[in-house]
A and B are shown apart, each in its own frame.
Chain A
Protein backbone atom coordinates (compact mmCIF):
# COMPACT_ATOMS: atom_id res chain seq x y z
CA UNK A 1 0.00 0.00 0.00
CA UNK A 2 1.59 3.28 -1.06
CA UNK A 3 1.79 6.34 1.10
CA UNK A 4 -0.18 9.41 0.12
CA UNK A 5 2.16 12.36 0.34
CA UNK A 6 0.92 15.94 0.35
CA UNK A 7 3.03 19.07 0.47
CA UNK A 8 0.78 22.01 1.23
CA UNK A 9 1.68 25.66 1.60
CA UNK A 10 -0.84 28.20 2.87
CA UNK A 11 -1.45 29.37 -0.68
CA UNK A 12 -1.80 26.07 -2.50
CA UNK A 13 -1.37 22.32 -2.63
CA UNK A 14 2.03 21.77 -4.22
CA UNK A 15 2.15 18.03 -4.43
CA UNK A 16 -0.36 15.30 -3.89
CA UNK A 17 0.85 11.91 -5.02
CA UNK A 18 1.61 8.40 -3.92
CA UNK A 19 5.08 7.37 -2.95
CA UNK A 20 6.67 4.40 -1.25
CA UNK A 21 8.60 6.51 1.19
CA UNK A 22 9.11 10.16 2.00
CA UNK A 23 12.15 11.48 3.84
CA UNK A 24 11.40 14.75 5.59
CA UNK A 25 13.77 17.13 7.39
CA UNK A 26 12.59 16.98 11.00
CA UNK A 27 13.80 19.63 13.42
CA UNK A 28 15.77 16.98 15.26
CA UNK A 29 16.93 15.01 12.25
CA UNK A 30 15.61 13.51 9.05
CA UNK A 31 12.72 11.10 9.37
CA UNK A 32 11.35 8.68 6.82
CA UNK A 33 7.61 8.32 6.50
CA UNK A 34 6.60 4.85 5.37
CA UNK A 35 3.28 3.06 5.16
CA UNK A 36 2.11 1.18 8.25
CA UNK A 37 4.12 3.25 10.68
CA UNK A 38 2.92 4.68 13.98
CA UNK A 39 1.60 8.23 13.60
CA UNK A 40 4.07 11.05 14.27
CA UNK A 41 3.69 14.79 14.28
CA UNK A 42 6.84 16.77 13.89
CA UNK A 43 8.35 20.16 13.49
CA UNK A 44 10.38 20.66 10.32
CA UNK A 45 13.55 22.59 9.71
CA UNK A 46 14.37 24.03 6.31
CA UNK A 47 15.56 21.27 4.04
CA UNK A 48 14.70 18.84 1.31
CA UNK A 49 11.77 16.44 1.21
CA UNK A 50 12.56 13.43 -0.95
CA UNK A 51 9.83 11.22 -2.34
CA UNK A 52 10.93 7.66 -3.08
CA UNK A 53 9.52 5.15 -5.51
CA UNK A 54 11.13 1.90 -4.49
CA UNK A 55 14.83 2.71 -4.09
CA UNK A 56 14.75 5.63 -6.46
CA UNK A 57 14.27 9.27 -5.51
CA UNK A 58 11.34 10.36 -7.66
CA UNK A 59 10.99 13.98 -6.65
CA UNK A 60 12.63 16.43 -4.31
CA UNK A 61 11.18 19.57 -2.82
CA UNK A 62 12.75 22.24 -0.70
CA UNK A 63 10.63 23.35 2.26
CA UNK A 64 11.31 26.37 4.48
CA UNK A 65 10.28 24.78 7.72
CA UNK A 66 6.79 23.86 8.82
CA UNK A 67 5.05 20.82 10.24
CA UNK A 68 4.47 17.24 9.21
CA UNK A 69 1.63 14.97 10.15
CA UNK A 70 2.40 11.33 9.40
CA UNK A 71 0.00 8.46 9.81
CA UNK A 72 -0.05 4.89 8.60
CA UNK A 73 -1.33 5.80 5.15
CA UNK A 74 -0.48 9.43 4.56
CA UNK A 75 2.16 12.06 5.15
CA UNK A 76 0.92 15.64 5.16
CA UNK A 77 3.59 18.33 5.11
CA UNK A 78 2.48 21.83 6.05
CA UNK A 79 5.29 23.91 4.63
CA UNK A 80 5.80 27.60 5.27
CA UNK A 81 6.94 27.75 1.67
CA UNK A 82 8.03 25.04 -0.74
CA UNK A 83 9.34 24.63 -4.26
CA UNK A 84 11.00 21.95 -6.37
CA UNK A 85 14.71 21.55 -5.71
CA UNK A 86 15.40 22.21 -9.40
CA UNK A 87 14.05 25.76 -8.94
CA UNK A 88 16.56 26.64 -6.24
CA UNK A 89 19.10 29.29 -7.07
CA UNK A 90 22.23 29.17 -4.92
CA UNK A 91 23.50 32.53 -6.13
CA UNK A 92 20.30 34.34 -5.29
CA UNK A 93 20.31 32.68 -1.89
CA UNK A 94 23.91 33.76 -1.31
CA UNK A 95 22.90 37.31 -2.08
CA UNK A 96 20.12 37.06 0.45
CA UNK A 97 22.34 35.60 3.12
CA UNK A 98 24.45 38.75 3.20
CA UNK A 99 21.37 40.81 3.73
CA UNK A 100 20.25 38.48 6.51
CA UNK A 101 23.70 38.70 8.06
CA UNK A 102 23.40 42.46 8.29
CA UNK A 103 19.92 42.01 9.62
CA UNK A 104 21.23 39.65 12.26
CA UNK A 105 23.76 42.16 13.56
CA UNK A 106 21.12 44.86 13.80
CA UNK A 107 18.68 42.75 15.84
CA UNK A 108 18.21 43.90 19.39
CA UNK A 109 19.85 41.18 21.53
CA UNK A 110 17.17 41.65 24.20
CA UNK A 111 14.42 40.70 21.80
CA UNK A 112 14.46 36.93 21.94
CA UNK A 113 11.68 36.34 19.44
CA UNK A 114 13.36 38.55 16.85
CA UNK A 115 16.68 36.77 17.44
CA UNK A 116 15.09 33.39 16.88
CA UNK A 117 13.38 34.62 13.75
CA UNK A 118 16.58 36.04 12.32
CA UNK A 119 18.50 32.86 13.15
CA UNK A 120 15.86 30.73 11.49
CA UNK A 121 15.87 32.86 8.38
CA UNK A 122 19.65 32.47 8.21
CA UNK A 123 19.45 28.73 8.70
CA UNK A 124 16.76 28.37 6.05
CA UNK A 125 18.80 30.27 3.50
CA UNK A 126 21.91 28.31 4.40
CA UNK A 127 19.96 25.08 3.92
CA UNK A 128 18.75 26.36 0.58
CA UNK A 129 22.30 26.95 -0.63
CA UNK A 130 23.34 23.50 0.48
CA UNK A 131 20.33 21.86 -1.13
CA UNK A 132 20.93 23.70 -4.37
CA UNK A 133 24.54 22.57 -4.46
CA UNK A 134 23.90 18.87 -3.97
Chain B
Protein backbone atom coordinates (compact mmCIF):
# COMPACT_ATOMS: atom_id res chain seq x y z
CA UNK B 1 0.00 0.00 0.00
CA UNK B 2 1.68 3.24 -1.10
CA UNK B 3 1.78 6.05 1.40
CA UNK B 4 -0.35 9.15 1.00
CA UNK B 5 2.66 11.19 0.01
CA UNK B 6 3.54 8.73 -2.73
CA UNK B 7 0.00 8.82 -4.05
CA UNK B 8 -0.02 12.60 -4.10
CA UNK B 9 3.21 12.58 -6.04
CA UNK B 10 1.86 10.09 -8.52
CA UNK B 11 -1.33 12.08 -9.09
CA UNK B 12 0.71 15.21 -9.69
CA UNK B 13 2.89 13.28 -12.15
CA UNK B 14 -0.03 11.96 -14.18
CA UNK B 15 -1.58 15.42 -14.19
CA UNK B 16 1.60 16.79 -15.72
CA UNK B 17 1.58 14.07 -18.35
CA UNK B 18 -2.02 14.92 -19.18
CA UNK B 19 -1.07 18.56 -19.60
CA UNK B 20 1.60 17.58 -22.11
CA UNK B 21 -0.56 15.14 -24.06
CA UNK B 22 -3.48 17.53 -24.32
CA UNK B 23 -1.16 20.32 -25.45
CA UNK B 24 0.28 17.99 -28.09
CA UNK B 25 -3.23 17.15 -29.18
CA UNK B 26 -4.08 20.81 -29.67
CA UNK B 27 -0.87 21.43 -31.58
CA UNK B 28 -1.48 18.40 -33.79
CA UNK B 29 -5.04 19.57 -34.48
CA UNK B 30 -3.90 22.96 -35.69
CA UNK B 31 -1.06 21.45 -37.73
CA UNK B 32 -3.51 19.01 -39.22
CA UNK B 33 -5.68 21.84 -40.45
CA UNK B 34 -2.64 23.49 -42.03
CA UNK B 35 -1.54 20.27 -43.67
CA UNK B 36 -5.00 19.69 -45.06
CA UNK B 37 -5.14 23.16 -46.56
CA UNK B 38 -1.79 22.48 -48.17
CA UNK B 39 -2.95 19.17 -49.57
CA UNK B 40 -6.03 20.82 -51.02
CA UNK B 41 -3.99 23.62 -52.56
CA UNK B 42 -1.94 21.10 -54.50
CA UNK B 43 -4.98 19.41 -55.99
CA UNK B 44 -5.68 21.71 -58.98
CA UNK B 45 -2.16 21.21 -60.27
CA UNK B 46 -2.41 17.45 -59.90
CA UNK B 47 -5.74 17.45 -61.68
CA UNK B 48 -4.55 19.52 -64.61
CA UNK B 49 -1.49 17.31 -64.82
CA UNK B 50 -3.61 14.18 -64.89
CA UNK B 51 -5.67 15.64 -67.72
CA UNK B 52 -2.54 16.41 -69.73
CA UNK B 53 -1.02 13.03 -68.97
CA UNK B 54 -4.01 11.08 -70.21
CA UNK B 55 -4.26 13.27 -73.30
CA UNK B 56 -0.58 12.75 -74.07
CA UNK B 57 -0.58 9.06 -73.28
CA UNK B 58 -3.48 8.59 -75.68
CA UNK B 59 -1.76 10.67 -78.36
CA UNK B 60 1.53 8.78 -78.14
CA UNK B 61 -0.05 5.37 -77.88
CA UNK B 62 1.13 3.09 -80.65
CA UNK B 63 3.88 5.50 -81.64
CA UNK B 64 6.91 3.29 -81.28
CA UNK B 65 8.62 3.05 -77.90
CA UNK B 66 7.01 4.68 -74.94
CA UNK B 67 9.43 6.44 -72.58
CA UNK B 68 10.78 3.96 -70.03
CA UNK B 69 9.35 5.97 -67.16
CA UNK B 70 5.94 5.13 -68.55
CA UNK B 71 6.47 1.76 -70.14
CA UNK B 72 9.15 0.36 -67.84
CA UNK B 73 12.47 -1.16 -68.78
CA UNK B 74 10.84 -4.39 -69.83
CA UNK B 75 12.59 -6.07 -66.93
CA UNK B 76 11.27 -6.90 -63.53
CA UNK B 77 14.30 -7.74 -61.45
CA UNK B 78 15.16 -4.90 -59.13
CA UNK B 79 12.48 -3.21 -57.04
CA UNK B 80 13.07 0.01 -55.18
CA UNK B 81 10.76 0.66 -52.23
CA UNK B 82 10.42 4.15 -50.84
CA UNK B 83 8.94 4.06 -47.34
CA UNK B 84 7.59 7.38 -46.11
CA UNK B 85 7.33 7.82 -42.34
CA UNK B 86 7.47 10.72 -39.92
CA UNK B 87 10.44 12.08 -38.03
CA UNK B 88 8.76 12.01 -34.66
CA UNK B 89 6.96 9.34 -32.73
CA UNK B 90 4.03 9.61 -30.34
CA UNK B 91 1.65 9.16 -33.23
CA UNK B 92 0.13 5.81 -32.39
CA UNK B 93 0.63 3.13 -34.99
CA UNK B 94 1.40 5.61 -37.76
CA UNK B 95 5.00 4.60 -38.39
CA UNK B 96 4.67 1.01 -37.28
CA UNK B 97 1.98 0.45 -39.90
CA UNK B 98 4.21 1.64 -42.73
CA UNK B 99 7.09 -0.40 -41.37
CA UNK B 100 4.94 -3.52 -41.17
CA UNK B 101 3.66 -3.09 -44.68
CA UNK B 102 7.18 -2.48 -45.96
CA UNK B 103 8.36 -5.69 -44.32
CA UNK B 104 5.51 -7.60 -45.91
CA UNK B 105 6.22 -6.20 -49.35
CA UNK B 106 9.94 -6.93 -49.01
CA UNK B 107 9.22 -10.49 -47.92
CA UNK B 108 6.81 -10.98 -50.81
CA UNK B 109 9.20 -9.61 -53.44
CA UNK B 110 12.17 -11.51 -52.08
CA UNK B 111 10.02 -14.62 -52.05
CA UNK B 112 9.48 -14.07 -55.77
CA UNK B 113 13.23 -13.96 -56.23
CA UNK B 114 13.44 -10.21 -56.91
CA UNK B 115 16.20 -7.95 -55.71
CA UNK B 116 14.84 -5.35 -53.35
CA UNK B 117 16.33 -1.98 -52.49
CA UNK B 118 14.97 0.25 -49.80
CA UNK B 119 14.98 3.99 -49.35
CA UNK B 120 13.47 5.53 -46.25
CA UNK B 121 12.07 9.01 -45.84
CA UNK B 122 11.69 10.12 -42.24
CA UNK B 123 13.73 9.22 -39.19
CA UNK B 124 11.26 6.77 -37.68
CA UNK B 125 11.21 4.57 -40.74
CA UNK B 126 14.99 4.51 -40.82
CA UNK B 127 15.04 3.55 -37.15
CA UNK B 128 12.57 0.73 -37.55
CA UNK B 129 13.72 -0.69 -40.86
CA UNK B 130 17.33 0.39 -41.09
CA UNK B 131 18.66 -2.25 -38.75
CA UNK B 132 16.88 -5.24 -40.22
CA UNK B 133 17.49 -4.26 -43.81
CA UNK B 134 20.85 -2.55 -43.50
CA UNK B 135 22.17 -4.56 -46.45
CA UNK B 136 19.51 -3.34 -48.89
CA UNK B 137 19.13 0.20 -47.59
CA UNK B 138 20.10 2.69 -50.29
CA UNK B 139 19.75 5.81 -48.21
CA UNK B 140 17.83 7.31 -45.34
CA UNK B 141 16.41 10.72 -46.09
CA UNK B 142 15.13 13.13 -43.48
CA UNK B 143 11.38 13.61 -43.28
CA UNK B 144 9.45 16.80 -42.88
CA UNK B 145 9.79 17.03 -39.09
CA UNK B 146 6.29 18.41 -38.75
CA UNK B 147 7.02 21.47 -40.84
CA UNK B 148 5.21 22.32 -44.04
CA UNK B 149 6.08 20.06 -46.93
CA UNK B 150 7.76 22.00 -49.71
CA UNK B 151 7.58 21.00 -53.30
CA UNK B 152 11.36 21.22 -53.41
CA UNK B 153 11.62 18.17 -51.14
CA UNK B 154 9.47 16.13 -53.48
CA UNK B 155 11.14 17.36 -56.65
CA UNK B 156 14.57 16.61 -55.20
CA UNK B 157 13.55 13.06 -54.41
CA UNK B 158 11.88 12.75 -57.81
CA UNK B 159 15.02 13.87 -59.63
CA UNK B 160 17.06 11.45 -57.62
CA UNK B 161 14.74 8.57 -58.47
CA UNK B 162 14.80 9.44 -62.16
CA UNK B 163 18.57 9.60 -62.28
CA UNK B 164 18.86 6.30 -60.40
CA UNK B 165 16.37 4.81 -62.82
CA UNK B 166 18.28 6.10 -65.82
CA UNK B 167 21.46 4.55 -64.45
CA UNK B 168 19.58 1.26 -64.36
CA UNK B 169 19.71 0.89 -60.60
CA UNK B 170 16.16 -0.43 -60.47
CA UNK B 171 13.29 -1.52 -62.73
CA UNK B 172 10.30 -0.83 -60.53
CA UNK B 173 9.73 1.83 -57.96
CA UNK B 174 6.99 1.69 -55.35
CA UNK B 175 6.10 4.26 -52.76
CA UNK B 176 4.75 3.09 -49.38
CA UNK B 177 3.09 5.76 -47.30
CA UNK B 178 0.15 6.47 -45.05
CA UNK B 179 -2.75 7.70 -47.08
CA UNK B 180 -4.99 10.16 -45.33
CA UNK B 181 -8.52 8.80 -45.06
CA UNK B 182 -9.72 11.17 -42.37
CA UNK B 183 -8.33 12.65 -39.18
CA UNK B 184 -8.94 9.37 -37.35
CA UNK B 185 -7.85 6.91 -39.99
CA UNK B 186 -4.67 6.52 -42.00
CA UNK B 187 -4.15 3.48 -44.14
CA UNK B 188 -0.74 2.44 -45.38
CA UNK B 189 -0.81 2.00 -49.16
CA UNK B 190 1.69 1.05 -51.82
CA UNK B 191 1.68 3.03 -55.02
CA UNK B 192 3.71 2.14 -58.04
CA UNK B 193 5.62 5.10 -59.44
CA UNK B 194 7.81 3.56 -62.13
CA UNK B 195 6.65 2.31 -64.56
CA UNK B 196 3.62 4.51 -64.27
CA UNK B 197 0.33 2.63 -64.18
CA UNK B 198 -1.99 3.66 -67.02
CA UNK B 199 -3.34 7.10 -66.19
CA UNK B 200 -6.90 7.04 -64.93
CA UNK B 201 -9.46 8.08 -67.41
CA UNK B 202 -7.26 7.21 -70.38
CA UNK B 203 -9.97 4.98 -71.72
CA UNK B 204 -12.78 7.45 -71.25
CA UNK B 205 -10.68 9.80 -73.23
CA UNK B 206 -10.59 7.50 -76.14
CA UNK B 207 -14.36 7.53 -76.26
CA UNK B 208 -14.32 11.29 -76.15
CA UNK B 209 -11.80 11.20 -78.95
CA UNK B 210 -14.11 9.13 -81.07
CA UNK B 211 -16.75 11.82 -80.84
CA UNK B 212 -16.05 15.22 -82.28
CA UNK B 213 -13.75 16.41 -79.47
CA UNK B 214 -11.11 18.57 -81.13
CA UNK B 215 -7.67 17.05 -81.44
CA UNK B 216 -4.87 18.67 -79.52
CA UNK B 217 -1.90 20.24 -81.18
CA UNK B 218 1.37 19.67 -79.40
CA UNK B 219 4.32 21.97 -79.29
CA UNK B 220 6.99 20.71 -79.44
CA UNK B 221 5.93 17.21 -80.49
CA UNK B 222 4.01 14.97 -78.10
CA UNK B 223 6.98 12.70 -77.44
CA UNK B 224 9.16 15.55 -76.15
CA UNK B 225 6.30 16.94 -74.15
CA UNK B 226 5.59 13.58 -72.59
CA UNK B 227 9.25 13.09 -71.76
CA UNK B 228 9.20 16.40 -69.93
CA UNK B 229 5.88 15.85 -68.26
CA UNK B 230 6.68 12.39 -66.86
CA UNK B 231 9.38 13.40 -64.37
CA UNK B 232 7.24 16.32 -63.25
CA UNK B 233 4.33 13.95 -62.80
CA UNK B 234 6.53 11.68 -60.70
CA UNK B 235 7.50 14.61 -58.51
CA UNK B 236 3.88 15.55 -58.16
CA UNK B 237 2.95 12.04 -57.06
CA UNK B 238 5.70 12.09 -54.45
CA UNK B 239 4.59 15.54 -53.34
CA UNK B 240 1.02 14.35 -52.96
CA UNK B 241 2.20 11.34 -50.95
CA UNK B 242 4.37 13.50 -48.68
CA UNK B 243 1.47 15.87 -48.10
CA UNK B 244 -0.88 13.04 -47.28
CA UNK B 245 1.64 11.46 -44.99
CA UNK B 246 2.22 14.79 -43.23
CA UNK B 247 -1.50 15.32 -42.74
CA UNK B 248 -1.89 11.71 -41.63
CA UNK B 249 0.91 12.09 -39.10
CA UNK B 250 -0.83 15.01 -37.45
CA UNK B 251 -4.14 13.16 -37.54
CA UNK B 252 -2.61 10.06 -35.99
CA UNK B 253 -0.88 12.12 -33.34
CA UNK B 254 -4.08 13.93 -32.54
CA UNK B 255 -5.95 10.65 -32.05
CA UNK B 256 -3.11 9.10 -30.07
CA UNK B 257 -2.79 12.11 -27.80
CA UNK B 258 -6.54 12.27 -27.32
CA UNK B 259 -6.48 8.67 -26.14
CA UNK B 260 -3.48 9.35 -23.94
CA UNK B 261 -5.20 12.35 -22.33
CA UNK B 262 -8.29 10.30 -21.71
CA UNK B 263 -6.27 7.47 -20.17
CA UNK B 264 -4.46 9.97 -17.98
CA UNK B 265 -7.79 11.33 -16.73
CA UNK B 266 -8.89 7.83 -15.93
CA UNK B 267 -5.66 7.11 -14.09
CA UNK B 268 -6.02 10.33 -12.12
CA UNK B 269 -9.54 9.37 -11.09
CA UNK B 270 -8.42 5.96 -9.91
CA UNK B 271 -5.44 7.33 -8.03
CA UNK B 272 -7.56 10.04 -6.40
CA UNK B 273 -10.04 7.45 -5.26
CA UNK B 274 -7.27 5.38 -3.73
CA UNK B 275 -5.81 8.45 -2.12
CA UNK B 276 -9.14 9.46 -0.57
CA UNK B 277 -9.83 5.92 0.61
CA UNK B 278 -6.51 5.55 2.35
CA UNK B 279 -6.87 9.01 3.86
CA UNK B 280 -10.27 7.96 5.25
CA UNK B 281 -8.80 4.71 6.52
CA UNK B 282 -6.04 6.61 8.29
CA UNK B 283 -8.53 8.94 9.97
CA UNK B 284 -10.67 6.02 11.07
CA UNK B 285 -7.60 4.29 12.47
CA UNK B 286 -6.60 7.36 14.42
CA UNK B 287 -10.11 7.73 15.81
CA UNK B 288 -10.16 4.11 16.90
CA UNK B 289 -6.83 4.59 18.62
CA UNK B 290 -8.03 7.68 20.44
CA UNK B 291 -11.30 6.10 21.49
CA UNK B 292 -9.72 2.88 22.70
CA UNK B 293 -7.09 4.94 24.48
CA UNK B 294 -9.83 6.94 26.22
CA UNK B 295 -11.71 3.77 27.14
CA UNK B 296 -8.62 2.22 28.66
CA UNK B 297 -8.22 5.05 31.10
Contact = CB atoms under 8 A, between A and B. Distances in A.
A binds B: yes
A13 interface: yes
Interface in A80-121: 80, 113
Given A38-B214, A39-B214, A41-B216, A67 B236 contact: no
Chain B contact residues: helix, strand, loop or mixed: helix
Contacts of B239: 10
A72 interface: yes
A41 B225 contact: yes
Contacts of A113: 163, 166
Interface residues of B, number: 32
A34 to B, nearest CB: 14
A8 B214 contact: no
Given A41-B56, A67-B52, A69-B52, A8 B45 contact: yes
A40 B219 contact: yes
B225 A43 contact: yes
Interface of A: 6, 8-13, 26-28, 31, 38-43, 67, 69, 71-72, 76, 78, 80, 113
14 contacts: A10-B42, A13-B41, A28-B219, A31-B219, A40-B217, A41-B217, A42-B219, A42-B220, A67-B225, A67-B228, A69-B48, A71-B214, A78-B48, A113-B163
Given A9-B45, A11-B38, 7 more contacts: A39-B214, A40-B216, A40-B219, A41-B218, A42-B220, A78-B49, A78-B232
Q: What 3 pairs across the A-B complex have the smallest Cβ distances? A: A42-B219, A10-B151, A12-B41
Interface of B: 38, 41-42, 44-45, 48-49, 51-52, 55-56, 150-151, 154, 163, 166, 214-220, 222, 224-225, 228-229, 232, 235-236, 239
